[in-house]
Amino acid sequence: MTKAIKLLTALPPPHRQRLMTLAREVSFAEDTRIFEAGGAADRFWVIRSGAVSLDQEVNSLQRVTVASLGAGDLLGWSWLFPPHTWDFGAVAFSPVRAYEFDAAAVLELCEEDSQLGLLLVRSVAEVLAHRLEMTRGKLMEQYTLHRRGAL
């Protein structure tokens, strides 16, 4: 299984410092919907404190939580890949403080500093690999419960 990484600590200090020049501190109240699947993915966050649930709409009445994120976790990766729309929704499970990054500004910085760009893409890829494994585990758990008649 892949190891969970924290985006900011995965970057060497000089690159982290360059990225942080673009950070803006934001906060979300508990139960705030941060973004919705299908919406424009033009930013991302690194959670400083609190908890965020990533969810997928099953139908108009039901959402399934696919991941829970906390301090140090990357929130949002769809800004990096066309068509730049969110694949999941996100809601603040508790009060959240985060660093917010404008995707266009980060991509411009990555064009200027190709080493930072490569390190950032690799770090996001590691986050995605870990989340894919976690999601696969949750799906298997749900399938097993469903087969047993527990759902």
pLDDT at 2: 54
pLDDT at 4: 66
Mean pLDDT of 101-108: 97
Three-class secondary structure of residue 88 per DSSP: coil
CB–CB of 35/86 below 8 Å?
Answer: yes
Could you tell me the pTM of the whole model? 0.87
Q: Residue 52 burial (CB < 10 Å; 0-12/13-18/19+)?
A: buried
Q: Flag whether pLDDT at 137 surpasses 80.
A: no
Q: Domain coordinates of the chain in residue numbers?
A: 7-149
Domain 7-149 architecture: Sandwich (2.60)
CB–CB of 77/44 below 8 Å?
Answer: yes
